Structure 1
Amino acid sequence: MEKRVFVYMVLFLGCIACTGHFKDLNTDKTGITDEDTRIDWNHIGIPLGVVQQGIYFNYDFGKGKNWTYQIMQNLSADMFSGYMHDYKPLNGGSHNSDYNLQDGWNGTFWGYTYAYIMPQIKRLEDSTRTENPLFYAITKILKVEVMHRVSDYYGPIIYSNFGGMKSVYMPDTQQDVYHAFFDDLKEAVKTLSDYMDKPDEVFDFSRFDILMDGEILSWIKFANSLRMRLAVRIAMTEPEKARTEFQSAISDEHGYFEDPFELVKVSTRDGYTNPLGEINRVWGEVYMNASMESILNGFDDPRRKVFFEPCVDDVCLPDKNGKDSVIIPLKGQYRGIRQGTMFAHPYYAALSKIYVNVNTDAILMTAAEVWFLRAEAALRGWTSEEAGDCYERGVKCSFSQWQVPDADAYLQGDNRASDFKDVFTPENDIKARCKVSPCWDESASPEIKLERIITQKWLAIFPEGCEAWAEQRRTGYPRLFPVKYNNSRNGCIDTEIMIRRLNFPSTLLDESAEQYKALVDALGGKDNAGTRLWWDTGRNF
């Protein structure tokens, strides 16, 4: 069964072009008829598989499949979040790292999602809306999970108007699309809750579910947890809406993620491979970011050993005259690369690689994240919970998830982030930016409490760079190292404020000027990487 679905999936994907022409995206070019796909429920299983594997994008359309993830996420969100960095001096050392943004990379998250994933979401919606409401509800949850990531990259997106008869699909503002996200999640929870009372009518969809366990309750918890995530995201731009949405989600009788092993992750059990794994293990291009080094080493964080590998050996370099050898002691240390240094050498290959391999499930959401969402909600007075208690439960949940001991001792520690010292280029050294320790301080100001919550949340959602980058932009935490060199176009990105978004694909300007203008109007600012998104207010209270 799984092999048959995979073959059909490849056929689907190989025949859909990556294009900005939205009017072409609903045309089925695969040659597979509806009758073919109805064999063994493939009319649901095939597109459902496409969508689930498209969140953490990894498809093979004849030209390899891991480079797409690299330019969609790894060379943007994974790096901008402070998690990772490539050791290679790509493009002469100047590219996304120093804000010399590469349009050919940065438009791909938009292009591939709309070319490959949204058509299948539309296909699922159309085929299940009345025929199978259970799958329709699951599709709604997946749609929000897929598209909030796109919106958090660019801002306005085509959401409510996708799949219409017009040749140009008009965008939603980010405010409108977030409201649509909440509506879709509420509708999904209501539908799935009705099925909880009718167990005899439930179709066993576990063979199609590669994110969780195929249980309706798990999907309700996912929807409620996702609703809490998005509610917190708009805490400053629409506080009453945020409070209402959060309170509604946390009060749902079916619950949300709380236990350490309640995770949403793309499973590799049935053929999906983690693209970050090949980029890391085969290509050797995923290393620790200097901001991660500063915090993990400074905190003496036990998760350091499961997140990254220590340096394998010392490095031997020629001296300034190119004669005698200079030994750089690295073996056993955890060392990272600072963003934006425009380095032109390959020596950073000796530093710490990430833990991920091709068989590692791709994490999308954790119960630990939800505990930190609850901590922030309590801090804002949205609930009667204690922020400090939720914070500590979040840290313990993360430690349990990674099967790391001594969470209690860690939470009592007052260790601070360490200064960054570039092992090869001292000019890149910089003082630690992070101001908090793991130990909760009830007497601290709300701002310091929030910094502590978000810093630990950042560690807990590793290695999911999309969510980490969004939250870092929203709150300013953790305090990341600024780029050493800022080569943003026309100086559009402030070095200290850092990159705020990615610009819309440049191809849209040629392919659909009307649509591009509508997107920029919906953005409400210049289409560059220094423009803040709607939920990015630059303040926390």
Structure 2
Amino acid sequence: MKTNNMKKVIYILSLALISVGCSKFVDVNDNPNNPPISTPSLTLPVAQQDFAALNARTLTYLGNFLAVNWATPSNWQANAIFSRYDFTSQDFANVFETSYADIFKNLTYIENYEDPSGAVDYTNYKAISTIIKGFQYQLLVDLYGDVPFTEANLRGENTTPAYDDGETIYKTVIDNLTDVVDMINDAPANAENPGGQDIIFGGDMDHWVEFANTIKLRMLVRMSNTGQDSYITSQVGLINANGGGYIMDDVASNPGYTSDENKQNPFWDYFRKPATGDEQNRGDFTVATTTAISFLQNNADPRLSRLYAPSRTGSAFKGTVQSTALPGTGFTSNDLAKVGPGLLKSANQDQIIMSLAEALFIQAEAAQRGYITGDAKDFYEMGVEASFVQLGVEDAVEEAEIYYTQPIKNVSWDASPNKIEAIITQKWVALNGTSSIESWIDLTRTGFPLGLPIPAESAGSRPVRLLYPASEVSRNTANVPKLTAADVFTKAPFWK
């Protein structure tokens, strides 16, 4: 689908565009009808790389702490916010800012671009932009609630956009994901295929259709608590009608990651140094929780040694609680398990955006709720198998079968009285270290997995949202919804 040489060329080109000066590159979008520098073929890999990096770093890290997969050892003072839950408008601001200032800006540029000569049709580029926007807008609604949408991304034409209702955004994105499939299927014969400029699917538009359908299904399942089952099933009917199906492999980006500085896989780069692969500080102050380790050990789960690396002291798979007041002895970074080899494979590993395991668990839930046809148990067990494969468990499918046939609640389908709880619990394990922000969102939506501890230093409640960044509050004061620190724990998105 993508050759290594092509990926390397595009990655170098993307870096070159960024390195000439961010402000200069940003300015090309001031007038979308008269772009002075770039074209969709040059802009797309930059937007995709920003999209992949944001989801690989901040969102995955935040998700792993709020889903109680990771903790901080006693010899580090980092990450106190994850034990206290004292989120402010200064925290995680890049989730909002990068989405609008970089990702959406460049995707909107692609959507508005018209070839001055009229010789090149960019329908496929515009379709890809619509799908990535849909993915990212879903996340923003899930994390913030109401956000700018209708008036967003207009650059100088409107620097203070109004905020749209989260449910309205959801349904508009769902409509866009429906329409984009027709856009792809009805693209003109002369529509340019992005090929290697597309660092996610290498220009395979059938895979983009599958991805659009899968994002849409995720959004519909997320609305399961809203009492809109007829709307959900009608929208699923539109997915069925387009015949494109759902993703059948991990959705991942790779522009040609290498071990060189500024060219590493973004998740790897978060934990490892360029060239040498030595541990970054973050690799030392990110350790396993007792909760995650205990669940894996108690259920004889061979993914344990892929999700976590044994401690330097005693080679133990030991976790700890999320706290800023740990005792020193036995709870240092040398004593505890860290992020494992199934997640940190190499500097040039693919960056997963949506795993096949996640897609299968979404289908399992949709089938269990009656939204799609198919056997929920089959989807569930295939989801476990896909997780084993993704993490590199030896003899993955066979080991997965041994695992999920154990007569244990939330492991074996047949031994689980609450099927939704089983699905979300196994999805939590499968998304550990990958798209863990989805586990936090699922926890808010369903309450599963049950029994995840809340740090003693917190206010006794788990956050259900983020606060709008201070930068947005100051420049768009009239439109930003007014929130207090307490709202972090009470004002969940519309689907709750």
Report TM bin, short chain.
0.7 to 0.9
CA distance in structure 2 between the partners assigned to 1:390 and 1:235 by the alignment:
18
Partner of residue 414 from structure 1, selected from 400, 407, 418 = 407
Looking at structure 2, the residues matched to 105 and 254 of structure 1 have their Cα atoms a distance apart, in angstroms, of 39
Query: Aligned-pair distance for 1:36?
Result: 4.0
Structure 1 residues 73 and 92, CA gap change in structure 2 (3 angstroms): closer
CA 1:96–1:53: 2 relative to 1, 3 Å:
same
What is residue 506 of structure 1 aligned with on the other side? 470
Which residue of 315, 318, 322 maps to 1:339?
Answer: 322
Note the alpha carbon deviations across 1:340-362, whole angstroms, 9 max, x for none. Answer: 45437571343222132533322
- The separation in 1 between residues aligned to 2:424 and 2:79, in whole angstroms, is 31
1:475-486 to 2 correspondences below 5 Å: 475-486=446-457
- Preserved CA contact (<8 Å) 1:154 1:502: yes
Q: Deviations over 1:50-69 (max 9, x none)?
A: 221122336xxxxxxxxx97
Is 1:472 aligned to residue 443 of structure 2?
Answer: yes
**Distance of aligned partners of 1:85 and 1:279 in 2 relative to their CA distance in 1, 3 Å threshold:** farther
SS at match of 1:50: helix
Picking from 432, 440, 458, the partner of 2:413 is 440
Structure 2 spans left out of the alignment, 5+ residues: 1-8, 273-278
SS in 1 for 2:410: coil
Percent of aligned pairs sharing the same letter: 22
Aligned to 2:275: none
Which aligned pairs between 1:11-160 and structure 2 lie closer than 5 A? 11=20, 13=22, 15=24, 27=30, 34-37=35-38, 43-57=39-53, 72-73=58-59, 75-87=61-73, 94-127=80-113, 131-160=121-150
Q: TM-score, normalised by structure 2?
A: 0.82
1:274 is matched with 265
The residue that corresponds to 1:425 in the other structure is: none
Matched to 2:332, the amino acid is: Y
CA distance in 2, matches of 1:343, 1:10: 43
Residue equivalent to 1:529: 488
Q: Is the 8 A contact 2:17 2:25 kept in 1?
A: no
Pairwise mapping of residues 264-413 of structure 1 onto structure 2 (< 5 A)?
264-267=251-254, 269-270=256-257, 272-281=263-272, 282-283=279-280, 284=283, 285-314=285-314, 331=315, 333-343=316-326, 345=328, 347-354=332-339, 355=341, 356=344, 357-404=346-393, 405=396, 406-413=399-406
Aligned in 2, Cα 1:139/1:88: closer, same or farther, shift over 3 Å? farther
1:430 alignment counterpart:
none
**Per the alignment, in what secondary structure is the counterpart of residue 265 of structure 1?**
strand
Match for residue 423 of structure 1?
A: none
Bigger mean CA deviation after superposition, 392-401 or 463-472: 392-401
Q: How far did residue 116 of structure 1 move?
A: 1.7
Gaps of 5+ in 1: 18-23, 38-42, 59-67, 315-330, 416-435
Q: 1:216 aligns with which of 202, 205, 214?
A: 205
Contact 1:47 1:124 in 2 (8 A): yes
SS in 2 for 1:513: coil
Task: Give, in angstroms, the shift of residue 102 of structure 1.
Answer: 4.8
Tell me the alpha carbon deviations over residues 262-293 of structure 1, each in whole angstroms, 9 at most, x when there is no partner: 11112152565333323323322332233321
Aligned counterparts, 1:225-236, within 5 A:
225-236=214-225
The answer to whether the 8 A contact 2:410-2:423 is kept is: no
RMSD: 3.0
AA aligned to 1:191 is M
> Structure 1, residues 103-152: CA drift from partner, whole Å, max 9, x if none?
43322211222222221111111115994212111110011122222222
CA 1:89–1:96 in structure 2 vs 1: closer, same or farther (change >3 Å)?
Answer: farther
2:72–2:78 CA contact under 8 A, matched in 1: no
Give the partner amino acid of 2:413.
W
Range moving further from structure 2, 449-458 or 99-108: 99-108
- Which whole-Å deviations, capped at 9, do the CAs of 1:224-266 have from their partners, x for residues lacking one? 11111111111112333223223432453121123xxx11112
Give the whole-Å Cα distance in 2 for the aligned partners of 1:103 and 1:380: 37
TM-score (norm 1): 0.76
